[in-house]
A and B are shown apart, each in its own frame.
Chain A
Amino acid sequence: MGDEALWQDTTHLCPKPIDRAFYHRLLQEQDRWTARTTTELAGFTGLAVDVAAGELLRLRLREGAQIVHMYPVNPSDPDERYWAQHTVTTEGLFLTRYGRLWGSMARHRPMLTILEDTVTPPRRDGAVPGRHHPCFSGTSSPAFWRAAGGPSGVPSGWEQLASLVEQRGWDPAAVLDKDDACFFQKGRIDPYSQHVRLLPSDALAGDRVTVFAEMDLVVLLALSPFTDGSSPAASADAVRPRPVEVAVYDRVAEPPGWPYPDMGYPDLTLYLDQRGVRSDEPVPTSGRE
């Protein structure tokens, strides 16, 4: 399995090794981080942000809690995209510091690693239990938005992301078929029904999440029309996004790469064609028919 020190003591279903010391060092060097670009996302338009390997992306709430849907994609091969349904088996449903967002087959490697997460649930009696940043929740889907009474004039999170995908000349049905991570969203797992309940976020103005890019990415972002998750929207007038500052920081380090040395790793030629993308031939995996 490789360096045993990289295996964390975890109860996750599918644990994977992580060099936490590497990310801890990056955090210790915050005073050397330099913002390359800063943009304000303040509407239901979505925003595509190019982030190179080793750079940082920071989301900072300007006025208060605002759910942000995040969907990283490999810009040179959009078939490689965020894989929420495998992230949950490796990280649990709720993400926080040192959680990683994993990419899809065939490479299935880390795309982003969370360095900072300042959101802290309030410590008070009667506080609603729950956690933030589900690696997926489905709240961006048009069906959920409409079911919540969301007005048709306000785009769901998915529709905003789809617009960004179309602007790149990609097919939303192919690229956006998986789920997005929902930063600053609070949720609670009902232990009996196993439903994931949407709760009002505890995030405050100034709260931030910072992620480290493990590879070159375009990170698609959309503000949720559910805003802070406190209630379904009854009318378009009632839906007002809260602005989020989106900053990209200059490269802080060479990513550790994946797989780590001496780690078991499959033969990718079973899945990739000569161009290095997933084969589109309708054939079984060679040797495993």
Chain B
Amino acid sequence: MGSEEVNISVPFDRDFYEGLMAKRESFRLVSREEVPAGRGYGFRVEAGQTFRLVELAAAQIIDTCVASAEDPREHFHSGTQVALEGTQVTRLTRVWGTPPRNRPLCTCIADTVRPAPNPSHAREHAAHGAHCNPHLWMLYTRRHPRSCYDNLRAGFAQLGHSQRAIHDNMNLFQNTALDPVTSDYLLEEGNAQAGDYIEFYAEISLAVVVSICPHGTGSIPIEDWDESGVPVYPIGVEIRETDVEPLGWPAQARKT
């Protein structure tokens, strides 16, 4: 029995994405929406466009579902994500979809949050952990506000899909770590400030649904949700045209 870790890497055309990011000033704004605090919102992004999620007022966790616009059964797959990219998302992280295609759905090209040093090595943008739901709220507070599950359901309904399209999502702007000793899921107060954003380049046409988490920035312990009146904030959703065609998958020769 050896002691070596299995190290695995997937081919990644970094030059393509660096070239894409170098063109960012030429991206054309297609749409800009403000999502009110505590709500969900669904939108479509075409292959080759970007979508940017902006913190408008303060740190705010955004539960984000990403699915194929053509077949929502193909969607973000947290297991593949963690295995290939790790538990956190930042610039040049690819976002992987479910088997059997098991391909990149989008790629993060910008992340302006600057995490503060902390002993747990927590950082924004978790790639695992799913969404809050009425069970958690009823268990801890005996009340049922509009949970992320409900917000995501509303967002998918805007796109003509049912609650069955809800899947395990990214927890963007959620400041988390897994404790290396206990393996507990740690949650720290978010570092994002007004104006911070994360942006993804769509590798295929996408149905994206976001939920403004009623847990706010994650600073209120779960047992205190009831009394605190957790503050939540609106976000911005911006779509841009890049005029850069995706590489496709399996990756083809570079087209830029």
Q: Is A237 an interface residue (CB 8 A)?
A: no
Given known contacts A12-B184, A189-B180, is B134 in contact with A266 (CB within 8 Å)?
yes
Q: CB of A152 within 8 A of chain B?
A: no
* Contact status A189-B135, CB under 8 Å: no
Is A196 in the interface zone, CB < 8 Å from B?
yes
B99–A138 CB distance below 8 A: no
The reply to whether the CB of B22 lies closer than 8 angstroms to some CB of chain A is no
Q: What are the residues of chain A within 8 A of B86 when measuring CB–CB? A: 193-196
Chain B residues contacting A128 (CB-CB under 8 Å) are 3
A162 lies within 8 A of B5 (CB): no
What's the minimum C-beta distance from A183 to chain B, rounded to whole angstroms? 15
**Contact bitstring A199-235, B, C-beta under 8 A = 1, else 0:** 1111000000000000000000000001011111000
Contact, CB under 8 Å: A89 / B129? yes
Residue in B closest to A182 when the chains form the complex, CB atoms:
B79
Within A250-267, which residues are at the interface with B (CB < 8 Å)?
Answer: 263-267
Is there contact, CB below 8 Å, between B10 and A265? Answer: no
Chain A CB within 8 A of B251 CB: no
Taking CB as reference atom, which chain B residue is nearest A232?
B6
Give residues 150-204 of B contacting A (CB, 8 Å). 150, 153-154, 156-157, 159-164, 166-168, 177-180, 182-187
Q: Does the CB pair B162–A281 fall under 8 Å? A: yes
Please, which residues of chain B bring their CB within 8 A of the CB of A202?
A: 1
Q: Mask for A136-169, Cβ within 8 A of B = 1, else 0?
A: 1111111110011000000010110010000000
B49 at the interface (CB under 8 A from A): no
Q: Quick one: which of B138-157 are within 8 Å of A by CB?
A: 138-142, 144-147, 149-150, 153-154, 156-157
> Which B residues are in CB contact (< 8 Å) with A156?
99
> With A and B bound together, what is the CA distance between A141 and B85 in angstroms?
13
- With contacts A198-B5, A263-B139, A289-B154 taken as known, whether A282 is within 8 angstroms of B162 at the C-beta atoms is yes
When distances are taken between beta carbons in the complex, the residues of chain B under 8 Å from A280 are: 162, 164
Q: Let me know if A271 is at the binding interface, CB within 8 A.
A: yes
Q: A190-B180, A198-B6, A284-B150 are in contact. Are A147 and B99 (CB under 8 A)?
A: no
Q: Are B78 and A143 in contact (CB under 8 A)?
A: no
- Chain A interface residue count, CB cutoff 8 Å, equals 85
CA distance A274 to B157 in the complex (A): 20
Interface size classification for chain B: 35 or more
Contact of B157 among A94, A136, A138, A284 (CB under 8 A): A284
B92 contacts A by Cβ under 8 Å? no
A194 adjacent to B156 (CB under 8 Å)? no
Binary contact readout B50-61 vs A (1 if CB under 8 angstroms, 0 otherwise): 000000000000
Q: Is the CB of A92 within 8 A of B185?
A: yes
Given A283-B157, A288-B146, the answer on whether A137 and B185 have CB atoms closer than 8 Å is: no
In the complex, what distance in Å separates the CA atom of A202 from the CA atom of B133?
37
B8: Cβ under 8 A from any A Cβ: yes
List the B side residues contacting A92 at CB < 8 Å.
179, 182-185
**Complex interface: chain B residues within 8 A of A199 (CB):** 3, 5-6
Q: How far is the CB of A95 from chain B (nearest CB, A)?
A: 9
A143 neighbours in B (Cβ, 8 Å): 10, 80, 83-84, 96, 99, 102-103
Per-residue interface assignment for chain A, residues 1 to 33, with 1 indicating a CB less than 8 Å from any chain B CB and 0 otherwise: 100000000011110100000000000000000
Measured CB to CB, the closest approach of chain B to A168, in angstroms, equals 17
Name the distance in Å between B72's Cβ and chain A's nearest Cβ.
Answer: 10
Considering the chains assembled together, what is the distance between the CA atoms of A37 and B121 in angstroms? 47
Known pairs A88-B128, A179-B78, A270-B134 / 15 extra A-B pairs, C-beta < 8 Å? A12-B185, A13-B185, A13-B222, A86-B129, A88-B129, A105-B149, A171-B73, A173-B100, A193-B86, A198-B6, A200-B2, A282-B156, A282-B160, A284-B153, A285-B149
List chain B positions with a Cβ less than 8 A from chain A: 1-6, 8-10, 71, 73-75, 77-84, 86-88, 96, 98-100, 102-103, 121, 123, 128-130, 133-142, 144-147, 149-150, 153-154, 156-157, 159-164, 166-168, 177-180, 182-187, 222
